[in-house]
Structure 1
Amino acid sequence: MLILNKLLSTLALACSLVFLVGTVNAQSEQQVRSELQKKIGQNTKIKSVSQSPISGIYEVLVGNEIFYTDANSKYLIQGEIIEIATGKNITEQKQVDLNRIKWSELNSSNALKVVRGNGSRQLAVFSDPNCGYCKRLDKSLQQLDNVTVYTYLIPILSADSAQKSKQIWCSADPQKAYVDWMINGITPTGKGDCSTPLDKNMTFAKTYGITGTPTIFFTDGSRFPGAVQITDIEKKFSSLK
């Protein structure tokens, strides 16, 4: 019984220490956040502050951007933390996780859709009809087989982008009108007077920090910005198997 009592006392002390360390860490993170917010001003909102893998260095999230600071909030560090033993880029992995979405949050009814082959592999592309890199990507995507591509139009470049997006969506065959314009240079002829999902797509883009086109999403929620090479897309598809 005496041994059992000692064991219980030891466990209770250990739990108390863990709770105390957690409380102290939380207080330190809050203090760093408060002090840093004062220094950078209220116009730049800090989303969170947490302890980084390096003692005395804190990870700071501003929007979806990652920075680091010291315990006194004297320095703001912009760069990457790499674990030497494994070569793991901790900052890059955190950035990937921050940019990840839930595939289920995408509403396919707001997208143009094309299926090639058995359509088993899926990806979503956010595109502007006046985006040169989007046109380059769309030409590359023609090489993919057994794929379903959902294209969400977000006219962010100009007023003409909005007009062309409406004309494409309101065409008799929106997907064909999109391909004709993006790949063959045939101007869409739709009147642009139908109901479109463009506002919903723009809201989604703003909510998830999609600020450039093209932006690709895969079914695991990860995103690839820019005109990604087909080899990189194929490699990503292989990793999802």
Structure 2
Amino acid sequence: MKVKAVLTRLFFALFVALTVSTSALAQDADEALMASLSKKLDLDITAIADSPVPGLKQIFTDRGLFYISDDGNYFMQARIYNVAGSIVDETENALKDLRIKGIERFAESAIEFKADKEEYVINVFTDATCGYCRKLHNEMDQLNDFGITVRYLAWPRAGINSQVYRDTVSIWCSEDPHQAITDAKAGKSVDDASCENEVAEQFKFGQRIGVSGTPNIVLPNGSVIAGYQPASVLRNTIKDSI
């Protein structure tokens, strides 16, 4: 019995050592692949993981989600659907997780219009110069009455270092950001202001999850509405997504 116990412990130790070694080798290979792709494609790669399709990995970048063959020779932008049973959009599911986890980082730096009787929280990438963003903002009271809290994330459409970006920073750094963004969306000017802020980080995160215009509404389950919906329609869309 003692010999058997010793052999069992040795086998287990060998198994653990091999598992750790294999994991370390795989991590090294992934890091080498990320470095090579970043250099070749001029991409900021934030993460790499196995995809649902054997032979493909999914890579999260500053310009969205892409796929790469295990040997690193083939790079593609695609959507993967699992059709084994009911049709499942695997790419969207990966992005949902990324959106939900990433957005929580900005909970404190978002401009939040909180519902008194909150039932849902939506995150909206917005630009004060965007016509449909203004239309959505005009329905804020109705959205809040529906129990929908709105968190605004900055997405200046003209990009970082544009005048729109500088105006967005002024909104976020205002003594009263709620009033400043309301004024800006009414076409009023906002006094210049500066402070430590996460406007650029919010914009870059939006790019990583595929935001290409505003408003871009991230629902509680991580799915996205790319564009404006009236408050009553948006409420039903949120309910249907839960």
Structure 1 and Structure 2 fold alike (TM over 0.5): yes
> Structure 2: 5+ residue runs without aligned partners?
none
> Structure 1: 5+ residue runs without aligned partners?
none
Instruction: Name the counterpart of 1:8.
Output: 9
Q: CA deviation at 1:165?
A: 9.6
Write out aligned runs for 1:90-239 (5 A).
90-100=90-100, 101-103=102-104, 105-107=106-108, 111=111, 113=113, 115=115, 118-138=117-137, 143-144=142-143, 145-151=146-152, 155-157=156-158, 159=163, 175=179, 178=182, 187-188=187-188, 192-193=190-191, 195=193, 200=197, 202-209=199-206, 212-217=213-218, 222=222, 224=224, 226-229=226-229, 231=233, 233-236=235-238
The structure whose Rg is larger is 1
Kept in 2, the 8 Å contact 1:64–1:99? The answer is no
Q: CA deviation at 1:131?
A: 0.8
Instruction: Name the counterpart of 1:21.
Output: 22
Q: CA deviation at 1:63?
A: 1.9
- The 3-state SS of whatever aligns with 1:68 is strand
Q: CA deviation at 1:64?
A: 5.1
Q: CA deviation at 1:75?
A: 1.4
Q: CA deviation at 1:178?
A: 2.7
Measured in 1, the distance between the counterparts of 2:155 and 2:47 equals 29
Percent of pairs identical after alignment? Answer: 19
Q: CA deviation at 1:161?
A: 8.8
Q: CA deviation at 1:143?
A: 4.6
TM-score, scaled relative to structure 1: 0.66
- Change in 2 beyond 3 A, CA 1:12/1:91: same
Instruction: Name the counterpart of 1:65.
Output: 64
In structure 1, what residue type is equivalent to 2:203? K
Measured in 2, the distance between the counterparts of 1:21 and 1:205 equals 37
Kept in 2, the 8 Å contact 1:128–1:214? The answer is yes
Deviations 1:9-28 (A, max 9, x none): 33223223322332332243
Measured in 1, the distance between the counterparts of 2:177 and 2:23 equals 58
Q: CA deviation at 1:55?
A: 3.2
Measured in 1, the distance between the counterparts of 2:99 and 2:136 equals 20
Deviations 1:30-52 (A, max 9, x none): 443344445x25x3333343333
- Change in 2 beyond 3 A, CA 1:161/1:206: closer
In structure 1, what residue type is equivalent to 2:98? L
Higher relative contact order (CA 8 A, sep 6+): 2
Q: CA deviation at 1:124?
A: 3.9
In structure 1, what residue type is equivalent to 2:43? T
- Alignment: residue pair count: 228
Kept in 2, the 8 Å contact 1:137–1:227? The answer is no
- The 3-state SS of whatever aligns with 1:200 is coil
TM-score, scaled relative to structure 2: 0.66
Deviations 1:140-190 (A, max 9, x none): 6565323333445665457479669979x98999659938x85xxx653x6
- Change in 2 beyond 3 A, CA 1:107/1:91: same
Kept in 2, the 8 Å contact 1:130–1:161? The answer is no
CA RMSD of aligned residues (A): 4.3
Kept in 1, the 8 Å contact 2:37–2:43? The answer is no
